[in-house]
Chains A and B, each alone.
Chain A
Amino acid sequence: MSTDLSGRLAADRQHERRRAARALLLRPLLRPTGRDADTFVLVRRHADWLRRWFDLNTGWRLRVEPELARLEKVAVDGDDATRPLLDAQRRPYSRRRYVLLCLALAVLSRSEAQTTLGALADEVLLQFSDPALVAAGIEFRLDHVEERRDLVAVVRTLLDLGALSRVSGDEDAYLRSVGDVLYDVDRHVLASLLTTPRGPSTVTAATAAARIDALTAVPPPLSEDARARAVRHRLTRRLLDDPVLLLTDLDADELAYFTSQRRALTDRVEELTGLVAEVRAEGVAMVDPADELTDLRMPEDGTDGHVALLVAEFLTAHAPAAVSVDDLRREVHRLAGRHRTDWRKGSDEPGQEITLVATALDRLTALRLVLVDRGSVTALPPLHRYALRTPTPLEGS
């Protein structure tokens, strides 16, 4: 009876910790109100344990305060272009929006506890007079509805992050120039957005690549222990954050550590998240039986999900040979004719296949399933998960 009970309690505790950890991995900044309210309670309850886990295994700092919980994810390397900031319509941010977002944050960092959209717009407008921005050839004058739309998209991102919360009014009225919106400014959120070891304003590098490197640079480990720890942190970060870890992506140190410690590493990630290690000769994928710990799904219902799956089939059928993007477009155009009733209207019109293929390849690249290089596409090993099965005669179909 008592062992039953303690077993149950342990299982409950593990279940709660997993939910908390998954919530943090999916949304590294959680707030106590709104959609994160339930998981926030769990994160607070298990804050000490989670903090220790992340510190020991990843070196990521977990800050849990009454106002927010922040898992300070530090990227493994600055080379991942597949995780853009998406707007409310899930479109990647443009150059102007990124710039607007940063300027809005700069303004808000110095603003009072409340502000309005109009006041924010005026302040941001002033910031555009920065000579460096002028020299970079970016302009913002707020005289186009397109510019206002960009600003509103940025504000909606800030609302989503919790840096702002709406007190009254709505952004659409602002877009139509018939009203303003009042916001509360959350300093806690503003203070916890950047996670780089170094503040960007202290970096003087001149090229984009050097700047990104400088942001992620960590001091070289001083002892053998520290070196091993740094390697473990890098590997666990990959296992937690990336869909696939291919042995060919690892350097010599990482490969040696991974080969000897693979089981320990994946078990620990499994314990934290409930992800299951799919161990293959070429590497490991931590896969999710619950299909929720991800921002991109495969397979996914709908036109784009279907195209991605059919492209994957086509590529695996030709593997190991690479396929040219042109061949893929021809294939997708052919498929569009066949799936006229299944896919979005107009998918079979000439020219549509270009967008369809681009979207599918973006998804497959982001999931680390293909490599696209100068117009030719190579299947990476895990793409074979999506190959057509040849049904064995024993199975009923």
Chain B
Amino acid sequence: MGESARPFAHLGAENAATYRAVLRMFADARDRYVLPLRPEDVVEDLAVVGSPVAVDVVENALTSLVGWGNLRADPDTGRVTTVEDFHRSRLLYQLTPEGQAAERAVRLYEETVGRRGALQAVALEDVAEHLRSLVVLLAATGPPDAARTQHLLTALTQRLETLADNAAAFMSSMQRSIDLQDADADAFVAYKDRLIDYLERFLSDLTTTGAEISGLVLRAEDLGVHAAVQAVAEREAADLAPGDDDETREREREQVRHGWEQRWRGMHTWFVGSRENPSQKDVLRRRGRSAIPQLLRAVNVLNERRSGRSDRSADFRRLAVWFAEAPEDATRHRLWHTAFGLSASRHLSIDGDSLTAQAAGAPRIVPWAEAEPLRISPQFRRTGHHERRGRPARVQDRSAQRRHLAELAAREQERLQVAQTELVGGGPRRVRDLPQLSSTAFSVFLGLLGHAIAARRPDALQAPCEATSADGSLRVRLTPLPGADVVPLRTEDGVLHLPDALVEIIGTDPGVRAP
């Protein structure tokens, strides 16, 4: 864009509508390949599309637009037919490149935000307003006025429907802009600031007004909105043309009632979510939130492309064309190797014998032809196979054995866990107070005991000693009791007699807890 060009200035100017209409005219004309326009052409065209504007207004608009850089004015050298025309400054106008880009941007913006799929904060406010009135109505003493309730509920559901439709349309158009096409890149960059501003505004509205609405919905339900909905349905059913018989009437009434209940439920799910089902409002907010960084990423991609970094998808498309245009296969293989850099390194091999033979060879550097060639087995030279040919040895499938081992290991692990829970915890206990031990627990206990005894200092055999099991999962503290009796320790495998002592076993790993 030129330094002084401000092609978006007209959006904030007074008479923005006129400027928009004029510029749309120019863009349409350009689509028809009509490049320069005279002021009178513009006036005429505007009249045709049904928004007539006076000539002087158009002239002023054109002058301003030239000033902002949207249009370029060139002297009109065409032949004239009246004197006054001749004396008027005659100019031909056409869009500048900046003006074109801006026009594309504004169009994109209008498509995404302006007309289709706009997220109307206004609609939110309307919904809140109707709900407030409804709550007031319900809170009043006496039965609610059915006619007013009906009117409010109808207005409410209509607003909600447009809001929901718009939200859906907005989300899909948002996705489209994120997957933007190259052609719209400039436009996109130009309009993304506005879009993001707009999104952020809407999101904050959604947060505040949305929260109020969900409160109002719940309040209305507390105040007996369901009964009111029923009454409205009754009223509406009564307005229906009387059916042939009671049964048909009843069925129709039922349908109407069901319809209204559904609408209210829709309102509820839109604004009030639950843990399992987040409300539509929250989904929309999340989508809107995530759209912002996505948009920014898309902008980054575009900026990278402008700074010479390229867009990956375009890179691949270009490469496809190169592969298609390459003269022969060899060139294609070169291109693959160069562009993707995924080829494997390639090396000649050498066997141990040749390596040894070469190492023992002459220290000076000789040509390949004079060096020892590789030792290739005569068998291979004769047949092309290193092994004697025959049935190849069947590869043993050891998965069954592996599974078996894995099961064993798992079982062992489980048993250990159980054993540890038998032993761990309960603070210091005397050996004679220990319960009967399972055989796994007993072997763990014996191991610990051995470690503890081995850890004693030879000069202090009666002092308390501590040790850790071989796998580090248990710690034992053993305090010998001088002059203690020999006590029996009962286990699954038999009885062990040993001097009584204080034993405390602690699990070091959080997986082992006291039972």
Residues of chain A touching chain B, judged by Cβ–Cβ distance below 8 Å, are 25-29, 72-75, 78-85, 92-95, 98-99, 102-103, 105-107, 109-110, 127, 130, 132-133, 136-138, 161, 190-191, 193-196, 198-203, 208-209, 211-212, 215-216, 240-244, 275-276, 278-282, 285-291, 293-299, 301-303, 305-307, 309, 313, 316, 319, 339, 342-343, 366-367, 381-389, 397
Contacts and interface: CB of A to CB of B under 8 A. Distances in A.
A201 B320 contact: no
Nearest to A281: B367
A287 B347 CA distance: 6
A203 B325 CA distance: 15
14 contacts: A78-B334, A81-B333, A85-B333, A98-B332, A98-B336, A106-B314, A136-B321, A200-B319, A201-B317, A287-B347, A289-B355, A301-B386, A309-B376, A381-B368
A73 to B, nearest CB: 4
Given A73-B343, A200-B322, A243-B348, 20 more contacts: A27-B344, A85-B333, A95-B332, A98-B320, A102-B317, A103-B320, A106-B317, A109-B312, A127-B320, A133-B324, A194-B315, A198-B310, A199-B308, A199-B315, A287-B349, A295-B346, A301-B384, A342-B382, A384-B367, A385-B374
A381 to B, nearest CB: 4
A29 B344 CA distance: 10
Contacts of B374: 299, 385-386
B384 A208 contact: no
Contact of A367 (B337, B348, B387): B348
B179 interface: yes
B338 A196 contact: yes
A136 B308 contact: no
B484 interface: no
Interface string B348-386: 111110010010000001111101111110101111111
Given A81-B330, A242-B346, A389 B325 contact: no
Closest 10 CB pairs of A and B: A199-B310, A306-B384, A102-B320, A106-B316, A291-B349, A195-B341, A73-B341, A136-B324, A81-B330, A84-B333
B326 interface: yes
A291 B355 CA distance: 13
A363 to B, nearest CB: 11
Query: Contact residue range for chain B?
Result: 35 or more
B312 A26 contact: no
Given A75-B337, A282-B368, A133 B342 contact: no
A288 B350 CA distance: 6
Contact of A343 (B330, B367, B384): B384
Contacts of A297: 349
Which one of B319, B330, B366 has the highest number of Cβ atoms from chain A below 10 Å of its Cβ?
B319
B193 interface: no
B327 interface: yes
Interface of B: 179, 308-327, 329-352, 355, 358, 365-369, 371-376, 378, 380-387, 389
Contacts of A397: 378
Given A201-B315, A244-B348, A305 B384 contact: yes
Contacts of A215: 338-339
A397 B379 CA distance: 11
A159 to B, nearest CB: 14
B348 to A, nearest CB: 5
A200 B349 contact: no
B338 A281 contact: no
B32 to A, nearest CB: 24
A298 B320 contact: no
A293 B380 CA distance: 22
Contacts of B383: 306, 339, 342
A25 B70 CA distance: 56
* Of listed A105, A195, A198, A293, residue having the most chain B CB within 10 A: A105
Given A280-B371, A294-B344, A382-B348, A79 B334 contact: yes
A201 B324 contact: no
A280 B368 contact: yes
Contacts of B339: 194-196, 200, 215
A298 B373 contact: no
A289 B336 CA distance: 29
Nearest to B364: A281
Nearest to A241: B345
Nearest to A74: B341
Given A200-B319, A294-B346, A367-B346, A95 B368 contact: no
Contact of A95 (B326, B371, B382): B326
Contacts of B387: 301
A302 B310 CA distance: 46
Nearest to A367: B348
Nearest to A203: B318
B355 A276 contact: yes
Contacts of B380: 299, 301, 306, 309
B323 A72 contact: no
A386 B349 CA distance: 11
Contacts of A342: 382-385, 389
B373 A278 contact: no
A75 B368 contact: no
Contact of B332 (A93, A294, A296): A93
Nearest to A320: B369
A201 B311 contact: yes
B360 to A, nearest CB: 13
Nearest to B332: A98
Contacts of B389: 342
